[in-house]
Amino acid sequence: MKKIILYIIALLPLLAFAQEPQSFAIKVKVGNLNANSRAYLIYQLGANRVIDSALITNGSFSFKGQILTPSSALMVIDKYGFGLNTLDTTADNISFYIDKGEFAINSKDSLSKARITGSKINDDNKKLLADLSPVIQQAKKLKAQENAATREQQNTAEFQNAMQAKHKELELAQKAALKIFILSNPDSYLSLLALYSVGGPSPDPTEIDPLFNSLSDALKNTETAKVFKKSLDVLRNTAIGVMAPDFTQNDVNGHPVTLSSFRGKYVLLDFWASWCGPCRQENPNVVKAYNKYKDKNFTILSVSLDKPDGKASWLAAIQNDGLSWTQVSDLKFWNNQVATLYSISSIPANFLIDPTGKIIAKDLRGNDLENKLEEVLGKL
């Protein structure tokens, strides 16, 4: 949970741009370890993961290297020199950021209690984690609540929807804290990284634009910002308020189905796959909404991201989950042409389209789907 903002690190290897490497140097002093003790540093250099190591002498060691952009890093101490592969989560470690230049990490006894000095991005990260502390604590309590439930309880739609609603509350609280940080720190590289977290896998340009525009010109001119802006521009084609891009794809019987043929109805364009656990968990909510509103000018068109050899699994999942509406797929996995057209990077994902063909909502899950349908179609 300490890394609630830092999951965006997983996206950074995708941001491999042509730019000059910059040097860094880290001086570390932790206690008085000697003998075979060794420290390991793990960080990202473009698309490559770097693992470096250093012997510890009287608690002191150092690292030097190069980075393309500020990078998240993990430093861990191998107290007995048994090797990195022998270490587990109990090993003394610290997560931080590497930026160009020199900075220091110091502690009397352990990395986990160390103080980082001489690094603006780590100062900013400390400030951000303090802002996120209430969210982190609530997330821990929610996790404990989930773990305390029996397997039978966890498998019920009621429990899953309740947990999903609570997770959404936390997500909104996290977003609020991140937005305040971004607006208050327009020069911080961490603000740019925080934009990835605010946007999630499918950012809404109308939400992100004001935040991006608030960044300093220097930050907006970095390669990371340019790549982010480019990806955001692509998403404008499927933003709320625009006309849903039309397409044609074959159904389970090989017959072509065109999105625009559903004009005149509210359509939930739903992306899923038989191999996707969260999708299968969400399907009961989709079935419930369909059965409730199918006679009120509402239908669903599902696009499956199943694999080339997955047609049997796709058909079985349709039957087992009771998905009685139109299903299409080209069985090209993540290269599904409709998924590419709609810039789908994670599933489940959906778009609610009005009778004119305009996107009016997206990523409606759990009770949110039924609440939105009630809003536009009325109570039953």
Residue 168 confidence class, pLDDT cut points 50, 70, 90: confident
138 and 206 in a single domain? The answer is yes
78 and 171 in a single domain? The answer is no
The confidence score (pLDDT) of residue 380 equals: 57
Last residue of a domain, one of 238, 262, 287: 238
Closest CA to 64 of 72, 52, 56: 52
Residue 230 resides in a domain: yes
12 and 73 in a single domain? The answer is yes
Q: Is residue 267 scored above 90 in pLDDT?
A: yes
Residue 19 confidence class, pLDDT cut points 50, 70, 90: low
- Please write the tens of the pLDDT for every residue from 216-266: 999 999 888 998 898 888 889 999 999 999 999 999 999 999 999 999 999
CATH classification of the domain holding 258 = 3.40.30.10
CATH classification of the domain holding 17 = 2.60.40.10
State how far the Cα of 374 lies from the Cα of 370, in Å rounded to an integer: 6
136 and 223 in a single domain? The answer is yes
Q: Residue 64 has which token pair?
A: 């030097």
Instruction: Summarize the confidence of residues 324-350 as an average pLDDT.
Output: 96
Q: Which of 27-31, 338-342, 346-350, 375-379 has the lowest mean pLDDT?
A: 375-379
The CA-based angle 356-357-361, given to 5 degrees, is 110
183 and 154 in a single domain? The answer is yes
Prediction pTM value: 0.72
Last residue of a domain, one of 207, 238, 269: 238
Residue 144 resides in a domain: yes
Do 131 and 180 meet the contact criterion of CB atoms below 8 Å apart? yes
Residue 1 resides in a domain: no
371 and 253 in a single domain? The answer is yes
234 and 262 in a single domain? The answer is no
Residue 243 resides in a domain: no
- In this structure, which long-range contacts are made by residues 164-171, counting pairs with CB atoms below 8 Å and at least 24 apart in sequence? 164/365, 164/366, 164/367, 165/366, 165/367, 166/142, 167/142, 168/366, 168/368, 170/135, 170/138, 170/139, 170/142
Residue 216 resides in a domain: yes
- Please write the tens of the pLDDT for every residue from 211-229: 999 999 999 998 889 988 9
- Please write the tens of the pLDDT for every residue from 39-58: 999 998 877 899 999 999 99
Q: Is residue 198 scored above 80 in pLDDT?
A: yes
The confidence score (pLDDT) of residue 300 equals: 98
- Three-class SS of residue 84? helix
- Please write the tens of the pLDDT for every residue from 74-115: 999 998 888 898 888 889 999 999 999 999 999 998 999 999
252 and 373 in a single domain? The answer is yes
State how far the Cα of 158 lies from the Cα of 56, in Å rounded to an integer: 53
Do 270 and 300 meet the contact criterion of CB atoms below 8 Å apart? yes
> Which residue range forms the structural domain that includes residue 262?
248-377
Last residue of a domain, one of 199, 216, 238: 238
Residue 159 resides in a domain: yes
207 and 274 in a single domain? The answer is no
Domains contained in the chain, number: 3
Do 291 and 259 meet the contact criterion of CB atoms below 8 Å apart? no
Please state, rounded to an integer, the average pLDDT across all residues of the chain.
90
State the DSSP string of 58-81. TTEEEEEEEESS-EEEEEEEETT-
> Cα-Cα-Cα-Cα dihedral of 260, 262, 265, 266, to 10°?
-70
Count of residues for the chain?
Answer: 380
Instruction: Summarize the confidence of residues 135-160 as an average pLDDT.
Output: 88
Residue 141 resides in a domain: yes
Q: Is residue 376 scored above 60 in pLDDT?
A: yes
Single-letter code of the amino acid located at 194: A
Tell how strand 326-328 and strand 298-304 pair up: parallel
The confidence score (pLDDT) of residue 157 equals: 80
356 and 252 in a single domain? The answer is yes
Residue 76 resides in a domain: yes
171 and 224 in a single domain? The answer is yes
State how far the Cα of 305 lies from the Cα of 249, in Å rounded to an integer: 12
Q: What is the DSSP letter of 91?
A: S
The confidence score (pLDDT) of residue 235 equals: 87
110 and 153 in a single domain? The answer is no
